[in-house]
Amino acid sequence: MASSLAVFSAPSVASLSFCQRVSPSNRSFAAAPALTAPVSRRFVVRAAEPLNPDIQKDNPKVVDIVDPTTIEKQTSYCRCWRSATFPLCNGSHVKWNKETGDNVGPLLVKAAPASS
């Protein structure tokens, strides 16, 4: 007997109201009993190491305030937490991305065009 794949279609994440069994060999559909129990799943992802390695560790939360009127053309802000010039980007994300396979880059903030 061919194995089958269960396909679920639900109007909301909280409950599954319809279930079909799909046979990969002939793609025929057969109705199966509806699932009426609520479905709730939680995923918690914990990093193997802290995201912030050593920036302002004595503070409960790292917060930097930037006045956008002080930006002349464009400023790059660090999002990888590896910059020696934090909160400004110094390109440390390039090494981080090569080491980890990540794809993080800076936050670029451009000055607003001068109003005339």
Quote the tokens at residue 58: 């004595």
- Count of positions (residues) in the chain: 116
Place of tokens 């199966």: 32
Residue 23: CA atoms inside 13 Å, Cβ hemisphere, count? 8
φ and ψ of 98, to 5 deg = -65, -40
Q: Given CA atoms 19, 41, 101, 84 in this order, what sign does their dihedral have?
A: positive
Name the active-site residue from 61, 95, 98, 110: 61
Could you confirm whether 73 is annotated as catalytic? no
So which residues are the catalytic ones?
A: 61
